[in-house]
Structure 1
């Protein structure tokens, strides 16, 4: 007997079945489309932004992240569980579509059947295993949500509806299969039953009910199963089920520009306000994000502010924006989000890096800050107000005289650009390496490394200003653009061909943000620059064994995906790295980003202390970084954690210069 089955067994295949079935199906799809369309009015409350350019690349991202679950899998164990659940349901969906295609298409119209023979056996086995995998994964999700719920994971009516509906659909599917098999395959084709292993177990359990009872059970469950599927379709616009569409769409709508780049405001136009004070000041994509968010709390788990008891949860920021969008659009964003939450963000991008829904958190926070600063003249503390004033007067937040910016380089092989612009690279020093005694040692080490490699280094000295990044992330876009314009003009005036900086914040700003303002000079961070010199043989070091742990700075790591070059430099110097639990893309911020380097940390515990404790837990006696902000924070964090003498903070350049072959 041929391996196949009657697709509408015990139900019939006449108009009495097909008409109501397809009427209900199309009605459910119509309801989904109608209420899905209604949600567009919510998104239209935001300002326009173009997220449909370069469609080929966007479609590629969509397919990669939906079909391969690439972003979801970054969440490791829960991500793999979701991935298996998705792929299982995809197999079930394809299987259902094939049944409809044959029963109501090829067989009905052309008497062509393809669900036969070996293909049917594979088809039957695939659907059984997919249904089992989906059930097991869903059970795991339920256990995690309701029995061993992690701290911060919130459950709502939506979650109960979603779990209940999906469980009911899966279980009724297996019961329908078991009832059918108990009457058919167990009796007439027992060898075929093995190709439906889960159905076989159910069939054996039900076989004692008798033929008529099984037929009645099958028919009742078949229509119940159909009603549940129709209910599932109808519920999508009203529950978190909508993320099936919105999260998928968010992969298509993701920004294609430089990673982490902010929108550059037109400060010379006729805009009456800047930043975001109310919902309409955000973009439609910002509002769309609130529907794509699944409240999985991955962002919250990785937020350094939330992890140190500050009143910031990236997840809640998105949820609160969504509540305003669905309720009172004129509500004040700051009042809803809370000033302390807005100012606590370090813009470390850990939330966005891990988000499986491609939600953009940082730009929303910065937009609210822009309104507070540019329209209200408000900062998180007097110390920030003072730092901003220092930048306006002296070009640096430390308040030191701009004329002394190049004093650190006296007696070093460095050329002032005003004296001679014929150099190999312009070293953009940054504020901390120019004025802070601890970071001057790093600048000195870098210059000596360049000299050892035969690289002629130039600096701007007193003509260099703060790159403006801390001011920008704090919301002071006007001051940032003023500083940027002066730096860009000066660098272009000297005809600089290449800029190297030891500060990831300066690097990210010059390499990305300045591009919107007409800057096109090649810019590189010193770790990749020195690593290339080592590989080319221009720079030679003699390794000496030591152990350390390495901290991935946010603006070199997550913002610029530079993880290997710094590690290769440490290893070239003879270092063995003991990685912290939170490293590379999951690195824990030092606490200085987002302009927080200028602000006192008054809420919760100190981020730098927690990161220092993570470093100490590795057992290494040295904490290596590549950023002046990080080095400054760790000097304080180690003291705060009472780890002095047990953990020493150092920059990579300081380690390398000790190993240079003369």
Structure 2
């Protein structure tokens, strides 16, 4: 006799009608709940997020089924993933039962669940159910007993955990009662393929058959209505993320990371710049609030929050949702607060780790645009002065144009207005042009290029700030004004390739300027040097040194350049000791988002926090690839009292010292 079991044993096929009726009611309630939320999303501005649909469908499938984004944090990622897979297998098993009992068997006489397949089916469901139950218990202990700092507990947590436990436990108990009546004594060999059900079933051995039948019937309906209740409450509780987070993968932005909407500043019909109300954001910004699982991963990695500043990316997203649902005309700025908005370094750590595909940074930038362009507000008078200097002098220091190329005196470098026959244009940036410490980096880069036979040109006094700090502070007008002048110059000189030592210039010229018409290839000096070495145009003499390496946010997380700088430094003789937070999880230096121009008045200094991480490695040198980071670390080492144990150096300095001519 084939291994099998009777579907609808004891409850009878008469339950099919009521079962499907209540199922339709539960599904209708679920659909109605989501339908009632859609007008809230529509308060936001239109945005096309169904472009490149095949790619997005593939990304959604991978992210949901493989739980790839959830598993980026191993614990509790594994707990959640195993629970998801376990519950998913149980759902698939339920569908197979439905297909056989209500479709294939009555219509075609086809029994799917029999023989070896039934044994595998039964064993898989029991293991999946046990895994889901154990993982749910682990998640419960973490949330209600371990209580990680910052993980908030709300009513939904109690409801969801209780309901899921009840569904799983009643499922096993119902199975156990059935097995006590039909399998444990009559077919113990088959019962072994339902090991968890068998354990529950042994509890009920010895009960009268009539009592087992009555108990099974009651439990069957209780389990069924719990499952229907689960479906019905999804849109009204945190469970909605089952659908909204999955949909958020479909709505992902596949444009280059860090892409910012470029405002048409010549459009005289625009009356509102930036976001003052939720209606000034996009529908996706509001939808993000529903996709958020409040897992606090973004908050844990936020350098502002980690140094006691009033910014929590998780709280900010939730506040956007609360305003959208309860007070659509309310002020975003007043609710979130200016201090929180200005605290962001735009490091993108929040978005990199978010398992729900939420876009935090651009929400903040839109609110900054409103503050700057509509309210004339800045994080401090020193920022107002620096912005004014960029507008008048083309640099935040207020220094004269004429001095911009002085650092290159005596070097083999051409000024484009006099001779533009070059291999690359070196876009120097403000810090390497005017800051004494960073001028040395520029000089070392020219030394490297000269040794490799690369002809370098600079714009000299014609170069202006790329506009990145102004843009990240919300001043889109000044950014576009600076960008337009730089682009006109670059196009006029027929430049073949641009190389920059600043990741902020690299991102701005290589990505943001595309919207304004610049198509010239742009490269960061770390990958440029790596290629020179690979082509054997640049040879180094390895000299051993111990170091730790800082991944600047705008090179690592924004541009995915992580391996190349490390490889160059190791060829130079370096032995690397990684910091606790490195690569894509690197901790910001505190200068991004225009913060390089602002005094850090709230909480602890981010630069000191990062320097302490470097000091903890025991390495005497922290290597940087960014003028902003270098500047912040010089300050952090002094402020943090690390001058005796740690020094900061740039990659170009180390390479230049080891060139074999």
What TM-score range do you get, normalising by the shorter chain?
over 0.9
1:170 pairs with 2:172: no
SS at match of 1:208: coil
Greater CA drift, 375-384 or 186-195:
186-195
Between the aligned partners of 1:412 and 1:216, the Cα distance in structure 2 is: 94
2:180 matched residue in structure 1: 182
Structure 1 residue 210, shift from structure 2 partner:
3.2
1:295 pairs with 2:280: no
Q: Spell out the pairing of 1:231-250 with structure 2 (5 A cutoff).
A: 231-250=229-248
In structure 2, list runs of 5 or more residues that go unmatched: none
Q: Spell out the pairing of 1:585-596 with structure 2 (5 A cutoff).
A: 585-596=584-595
Q: Spell out the pairing of 1:418-497 with structure 2 (5 A cutoff).
A: 418-497=417-496
Structure 1 residue 183, shift from structure 2 partner:
1.1
2:558 matched residue in structure 1: 559
Q: 1:205 aligns with which of 203, 206, 209?
A: 203
Deviation readout 1:195-227 (Å, 9 max, x if unpaired): 111111111122133322222221111100000
Between the aligned partners of 2:272 and 2:345, the Cα distance in structure 1 is: 24
1:9 matched residue in structure 2: 9
SS at match of 2:370: helix
1:146 matched residue in structure 2: 144
Structure 1 residue 476, shift from structure 2 partner:
0.4
1:126 matched residue in structure 2: 124
SS at match of 1:53: coil
SS at match of 2:113: coil
Between the aligned partners of 1:500 and 1:88, the Cα distance in structure 2 is: 51
Greater CA drift, 220-229 or 200-209:
200-209
Between the aligned partners of 1:563 and 1:406, the Cα distance in structure 2 is: 30
Q: Spell out the pairing of 1:92-491 with structure 2 (5 A cutoff).
A: 92-269=90-267, 270-491=269-490
Between the aligned partners of 2:321 and 2:592, the Cα distance in structure 1 is: 26
Deviation readout 1:336-395 (Å, 9 max, x if unpaired): 001100000000000000000000000000000000000010101000000001101110
Greater CA drift, 382-391 or 180-189:
180-189
Greater CA drift, 201-210 or 289-298:
201-210
Between the aligned partners of 1:303 and 1:153, the Cα distance in structure 2 is: 15
SS at match of 1:4: coil
SS at match of 1:331: coil
Between the aligned partners of 2:202 and 2:444, the Cα distance in structure 1 is: 76
In structure 1, list runs of 5 or more residues that go unmatched: none
Between the aligned partners of 2:353 and 2:208, the Cα distance in structure 1 is: 53
Between the aligned partners of 1:44 and 1:614, the Cα distance in structure 2 is: 44
SS at match of 2:546: strand
SS at match of 2:522: strand
Q: 1:42 aligns with which of 22, 40, 48?
A: 40
Between the aligned partners of 2:447 and 2:287, the Cα distance in structure 1 is: 51
Deviation readout 1:306-342 (Å, 9 max, x if unpaired): 0000000000000000000111100001000011000
2:583 matched residue in structure 1: 584
SS at match of 1:207: coil
1:80 matched residue in structure 2: 78
SS at match of 1:186: coil
Q: TM-score, normalised by structure 1?
A: 0.99
Between the aligned partners of 1:102 and 1:484, the Cα distance in structure 2 is: 65
SS at match of 2:457: strand
Aligned residues: 660
RMSD: 0.8
Between the aligned partners of 1:642 and 1:442, the Cα distance in structure 2 is: 24
SS at match of 1:623: strand
Between the aligned partners of 1:210 and 1:501, the Cα distance in structure 2 is: 83
SS at match of 2:358: coil
Between the aligned partners of 1:529 and 1:428, the Cα distance in structure 2 is: 13
